[in-house]
Structure 1
Amino acid sequence: MTSEPFGQVDGAAVSRYTLSNGRGMTVRILTYGGTIQSLEVPDRRGHVDNVVLGFATLDGYLDIAKKKGNPYFGAIIGRYANRIAKGAFTLNGTAHQLPVNNNGNSLHGGTAGFDQKVWQATPQQGGDTVGLKLQYVSPSGEMGYPGALTATVTYTLDQTNRLNIDYQASTDAPTVVNLTNHSYWNLAGESALGIYDHRLTLNADRYTPTDSTQIPTGQLAPVKGTPMDFTAPTAIGARITANDPQLLTGQGYDLNWAINRGDDTSLAQAAKVEDPSTGRTLTVLTTEPGIQFYSGNFLDGTIIGTGGHAYRQGAGLALETQHFPDSPNHPEFPSTTLNPGQTYHQTTVFQLGVG
């Protein structure tokens, strides 16, 4: 592991850490947002490419955070990943109001979520692993959330090209929490044309349909017979233009799937992506109940990425392991409430390979 300065945010120094193993995999992580800036892996011929979207400089991340349509490239998302309806929820009889930043709803923690914070970093070294422990303390009332929340996210790279992300959090007052990582993947390479020919499998028989503002209706609908059925490997572009209300609302895929796991919280496969052109594969395992699949619908060519190329619609796909959107307003969904004395804990693994 190595580290280097990567600029400043409001006087706070930002560092970039580089994690490498002996199998050709290199991951670069910024203390700004806990962001995965790049992730390089070989293809079936041994050619190495960066397979995640991002920016070459810190200014790229800072500039886009100020604009409408922040893509959250590679960042840790919190306190609450995904959407909360009208930025409002009631917890233990007390109403809380969050900033709204997406169609009248609160998205990804509000106008200044965990993706815009500088995290404290501690390198980790194991026998055959290398890791980076990141911590951020969110004060009570930040973005309208109750309770001071101490969040710890540890990235660990091993010799089998697995990037493990372990999330923990504790609070001094009842609150809600839902953390994830928002990396965008293009297994053909960060500068390749797009991901519509990638084949996706989701271990999910049901998904959570949304209303016109992308808030779940509360229904768990079957995927069978719909464009949301990825129970068998399917090209992402095969049905993305179907005349389906859910695809029209999101201008493509931007929905939460309920992983087939019952009440089990062990590590289970949620998704697999395969790129026919390079043979690269990505397998996502998680302890979480849901996964948001977003097909990069709102990338419009105005963002210039790490390799100097414009990111257009479908340039990358996100697979955000999570609790369901708007859970604080849906008691029928798995709870996202965290109380003092409890520890929020979830693990997600990105397994890179070739097929």
Structure 2
Amino acid sequence: MEIKHISHFQDTSASKSFGLTPDHEEILSFELSNKNGMKVQLINYGATVTSLQIPVSDGKLVDIVLGFDTLASYLASYNLPSAPYFGTTVGRYAGRINKGRFTLNDKKIQLNINNNENALHGGNIGFGKKAWNVTDITSGNNPSITFSLLSENLDENYPGALQVDLTYTLTEENELKLVYKATSTEDTIINLTHHSYFNLDGHHATVLNQTMYIEAEKMLETDSANIPTGKFTALSNHDFDFRTPKKCPATIDNSFVTEPSQNAVAKLFSSKNNLQMSVYTNQPSVHIYVGGNCFGILKGKGDVDYHPSSGICFETQNFPDAPNHEHFPDSVLKKGDEYYQETIYKFENIN
């Protein structure tokens, strides 16, 4: 299963070196492309999307996700007071867990604390800071790549050894499809998400001119530390009611409750590039995030200065702090069961 150097895949994929981790493990960059000219670049550090290039109406390619040109920049970004998690896979538990505490099978568990008094995005060394193995690559139509990670028992104090497999597929319909599967040797909690910052005008621009739609009639109420209170905020007559599309707000960090359906849970529109992104998922929420105090000092790809409105995240996931709220969707993965998540980001030219 473990393919450290991925040597026998070299013929079928355009992989190239992206740099060395502090313990001298080589990180590789891979590119998937479809017949329409859409391209996605990924690295096995954090199973991270570093670039997503979409052909727009004038024929040119626009890179619509924030990221860095070098592994060193990704590593350095985690040393900031608030890491941006550009394009990474977040786990073992995305979002905040209050005081890093929860009870599982009548046992109290204390996770590592990394966000004021709380646990955020999996702890000090979450899945975005780990080198994943590449276990499968397909080429031709609908090319894909599968990244795999074994999170050891008690990694960041989470119970159970968790085996995660994440397959990215670039479809001929200009969809970036993510399928996550996971199993655990013991009952544990899990909440995985993808943390790309999108900007349909290009990663050098601002998202504030773009329009957003979210299919949600309520969102999670949170306290001053952004921990869910257990209550919901109705969105009728609320500034964050995006059922009627409106401009992206300069500041948002909220979980919108989605219902299972075949419809898009969220959409982003760029009139500049006549581009629409639709988000589909089997998850009960999409966490929308713009900004953060990690910008203002960050230079991204191509020496671009990133700022608080450079990108917007659509994090499809379970509710933050779900292990501490009985009426929230169940976040427990039982020993022997399989966690399954599917999320699709679909891109279309609109007129």
TM-score bracket for the superposition, by shorter chain length: over 0.9
Instruction: Report how many residues are paired.
Output: 337
The aligned counterpart of 1:68 is: 81
Matches within 5 A, 1:296-311: 296-311=291-306
> Is 1:135 equivalent to 2:135 in the alignment?
no
CA contact (8 A) 1:299 1:311 kept: no
Greater shift in the superposed pair: 6-15 or 314-323 = 6-15
The aligned counterpart of 2:10 is: none
Q: Deviations over 1:23-53 (max 9, x none)?
A: 1210000000000000000222222111000
Q: What is the Cα deviation at residue 267 of structure 1?
A: 4.8
CA contact (8 A) 2:83 2:294 kept: no
CA contact (8 A) 2:160 2:185 kept: yes
Alpha-carbon distance in structure 2 between the residues aligned to 1:145 and 1:122: 24
Q: What is the Cα deviation at residue 127 of structure 1?
A: 5.8
CA contact (8 A) 1:81 1:178 kept: yes
Q: What is the Cα deviation at residue 226 of structure 1?
A: 0.9
Alpha-carbon distance in structure 2 between the residues aligned to 1:323 and 1:4: 34
Greater shift in the superposed pair: 78-87 or 93-102 = 93-102
Matches within 5 A, 1:227-266: 227-237=239-249, 240=250, 252-261=251-260
Alpha-carbon distance in structure 1 between the residues aligned to 2:331 and 2:29: 31
Alpha-carbon distance in structure 2 between the residues aligned to 1:256 and 1:17: 31
Q: Deviations over 1:298-342 (max 9, x none)?
A: 343100001211111111000000000000001110001001110
Alpha-carbon distance in structure 1 between the residues aligned to 2:236 and 2:57: 33
Segments of structure 2 that go 5 or more residues without pairing to the other structure are: 1-12
The aligned counterpart of 2:271 is: 276
Q: What is the Cα deviation at residue 11 of structure 1?
A: 2.1
The aligned counterpart of 2:26 is: 13
Alpha-carbon distance in structure 2 between the residues aligned to 1:336 and 1:127: 36
Cα RMSD (Å) of the superposition?
A: 1.2
Counterpart secondary structure, 2:156: helix
Alpha-carbon distance in structure 2 between the residues aligned to 1:195 and 1:79: 29
The aligned counterpart of 1:83 is: 96
Q: Which amino acid aligns with 2:259?
A: N
Percent identical among aligned pairs is: 36
CA contact (8 A) 1:205 1:260 kept: no
The aligned counterpart of 2:182 is: 169
Q: Which amino acid aligns with 2:256?
A: W
Alpha-carbon distance in structure 2 between the residues aligned to 1:267 and 1:109: 29
Counterpart secondary structure, 2:303: coil
Segments of structure 1 that go 5 or more residues without pairing to the other structure are: 241-251
Alpha-carbon distance in structure 2 between the residues aligned to 1:173 and 1:120: 22
Alpha-carbon distance in structure 1 between the residues aligned to 2:116 and 2:80: 15
Alpha-carbon distance in structure 2 between the residues aligned to 1:236 and 1:65: 26
Following superposition, which runs of at least 4 residues in structure 1 exceed 3 angstroms of deviation?
A: none
Counterpart secondary structure, 2:76: helix
The aligned counterpart of 2:222 is: 210
CA contact (8 A) 1:99 1:106 kept: yes
2:157 to 144, 147, 169: 144
Alpha-carbon distance in structure 2 between the residues aligned to 1:256 and 1:337: 19
Q: Deviations over 1:93-140 (max 9, x none)?
A: 111111112131111001110000000013432662100000000001
1:323 to 310, 318, 322: 318
Q: Deviations over 1:200-256 (max 9, x none)?
A: 00011110010000001111221111111001111113xx5xxxxxxxxxxx20010
Greater shift in the superposed pair: 300-309 or 170-179 = 300-309
Alpha-carbon distance in structure 2 between the residues aligned to 1:46 and 1:298: 35
CA contact (8 A) 1:205 1:229 kept: yes
Q: What is the Cα deviation at residue 144 of structure 1?
A: 1.0
CA contact (8 A) 2:80 2:294 kept: no
The aligned counterpart of 1:2 is: 14
Alpha-carbon distance in structure 2 between the residues aligned to 1:184 and 1:300: 12
Alpha-carbon distance in structure 1 between the residues aligned to 2:254 and 2:295: 20
- TM-score, normalization by structure 1: 0.92
The aligned counterpart of 1:245 is: none
Alpha-carbon distance in structure 2 between the residues aligned to 1:195 and 1:151: 32
1:155 to 168, 182, 185: 168
Alpha-carbon distance in structure 1 between the residues aligned to 2:336 and 2:136: 27
Q: What is the Cα deviation at residue 67 of structure 1?
A: 2.5
- TM-score, normalization by structure 2: 0.94
